[in-house]
Amino acid sequence: MKNSIMTFREKKEKGEKIAMLTCYDYSTARLMDAAGIDGVLIGDSLGNTMLGYPDTLSVTMEDMIRYSTGVARGCKNALVVMDMPFMSYQLSVEQGLMNAGRLMKEARGQAVKLEGGARVCPQIRAMTDAGIPVMAHLGLTPQSVNAFGGHRVQGKTDDAARQLMEDAHKIEDAGAFAVVLECVPAPLAARISQQLKIPTIGIGAGNGCDGQILVYQDMLGMFNDFTPKFVKHFSNIGEEMSRAFRDYISEVRSGAFPDEEHSFKMKNEDILSRLY
């Protein structure tokens, strides 16, 4: 049965943890879905992992639609959430609603995600009023990396912690069905999770959150440009891929591949003598 925003709420009510990963293509989506993942996020982190940008700011609506479409087709059970890219919702409520509608109609996911607290509550209300489920994102919001002065843990001071708590309540009141907490001290994230009725999805926010999400290339050891402190390598697929690539190159160059087993035969090779 297809997971929905109600599935996430029910999991929180039952005390069941929610497992999410980022995803950017059909083949990976099929594998994650078959493994039983609760939800996938087509994150604007594709700017880093798929397009090679140094940040997420250059990702466009067209990028998000193109990548999200394949993932949505590959997920039969997982909830598919799609990031709204930088400057696709910040200018106005109308702009945000139009672009969220494009993602839902053209990419066929089940929800959108946007960054920010009180300042984006009008956009959240408008989207949810229009029937578009919204996942919020607080703490380290990568689209604001320049304003933060880098990738820094958020909510470490009294004032910052109080602001995060207030923003969390405001986005819940605005209608968000869940919120990502990124790079937030674990005790603060746990307190926010206890106070909210909606699920919290942590990334670098400790195990007191209602669920967790990681960039899948990070947790598989496939992306080595940088490794955040909160990333655990559940496998070193990157090393295995590199070995396979080297073996392939070696066999092609030596002529060992393709061999007879991986080649096609002719029923009658005599015809070859009659070909010019």
Q: How many CA atoms lie within 13 A of 47 on its CB side?
A: 19
Q: Please enumerate, as own/partner, the contacts of 244-250 that have beta carbons within 8 Å and a separation of 24 or more.
A: none
**Strands 134-139 and 111-113, bridge-based pairing:** parallel
CA distance 42 to 84: 10
CA distance 268 to 24: 46
Q: 198 vs 91, 134, 179, 227, CA distance in Å?
A: 27, 11, 7, 29
Task: With beta carbons less than 8 A apart as the criterion, state whether 109 and 69 touch.
Answer: no
182, 240, 260, 261: which is the annotated catalytic residue? Answer: 182
Sign for the pseudo-dihedral over CA of 14, 17, 18, 19: negative
Tally of CB atoms within 10 A around 126: 20
* CA-wise closest residue to 41 among 178, 206, 156: 178
Catalytic-residue membership of 182: yes
Catalytic sites, residue numbers: 182
